[in-house]
Amino acid sequence: MEENQPKTGKYALNFGIILGIVSIVFSIMLFTMDMHYERNTAVQIISLILAAAAIVLAISSFKKANGGFLTLSEAMKIGTGVALIAGILGLLYFFIQSNFIEPDYWDKAYEIGKQTALENNPQLTEEQIDQGIEMQKKFSWLFYPIGLIINIIIGLVLGLIIGLIMKKQKPAY
C-alpha cells in the first residue's frame, strides 16, 4: 500500500503567502521610513535573505513531510512556486502603493532618477535626460511582468541551490 505523497504546490503556496506578507511588511517599513525610493545593496540583500529563508523553510518542511526524501525537481518546483506567489503579492502591493497610497510615486522616482543622471553623467543635457524619462514612462508597464519574471528566476536558482544541498533520493528497492 502506497502512502500519500505531499504536494509541492501546497508548500509553495503556504510559504509563498508567508514570504509575500513578510515582504509587504518590509516594504511598508521602508515606506514609513521614507526609504522606499532607495534600492541600495542592503535592501536588496535583505530581500534576498528573506526569500532564501522562506524557500529553505518550505523545502525542509516538504522534505520532513516526505519521509526525509527530496528530489532536485521538487526543490526547484517549491522554490519557483514560493517566488511566484510572493512576487504576485508583492507586485499587487506595489500597484496599490504606487497608484493609491502614493499616487505621485512614479513622478518622484523619475525626478530622483533625473537628479542621479545629472550627477553621474555631466555630459548629458537636461533635455536628453527628459527624453529618456519620457521613453521610460512609455514602457513603465513592463515593470510588472519583468519584476515577476526576475522573482521567478531568483526562486528557481535558490530552489536549485537549496535542492542540491538538501536532496536525498529514495532507495530504489
Split into its structural domains, the chain has a count of 1
In-domain check, residue 151 = yes
Q: What's the pLDDT at 118?
A: 83
**Per residue in 23-65, pLDDT tens?**
999 999 999 998 888 778 999 999 999 999 999 999 999 999 9
Q: Specify whether the CB–CB gap between 85 and 9 falls below 8 A.
A: no
Domain around 150: 8-102+142-166
User: Residue 70 forms beta bridges with which residues?
Assistant: 168
Q: What is the pLDDT of residue 2?
A: 52
Is 1 a member of any domain? Answer: no
Question: Is residue 173 in a domain?
Answer: no
Q: Considering the domain boundaries, does residue 84 fall inside one?
A: yes
Query: If pLDDT is split at 50, 70 and 90, which confidence band does 3 have?
Result: low
Following DSSP, what letter does each residue of 56-111 receive, concatenated? HHHHHHHHHHTTT-B-HHHHHHHHHHHHHHHHHHHHHHHHHIIIIISTTHHHHHHH
Backbone dihedral region for residue 5 (phi beyond 0: left; psi -120 to 50: alpha; all else: beta) = beta
Measuring CA to CA, which residue among 139, 148, 6, 140 is closest to residue 66? 6
Q: Which residues contact 116 (CB under 8 A, 6 or more apart)?
A: none
Q: How many other CB atoms are there within 10 angstroms of residue 33's CB atom?
A: 9
Task: Examine residue 107 and state whether it is found in any structural domain, yes or no.
Answer: no
Residue 76 lies in a domain: yes
132 part of a folded domain: no
Residue 148 has pLDDT above 70, yes or no: yes
Is the pLDDT at 156 greater than 80, yes or no?
yes
In a domain, 70, yes or no: yes
Distance of CA 136 to the CA centre of its chain: 22
Q: Give yes or no for residue 1 having a pLDDT over 50.
A: no
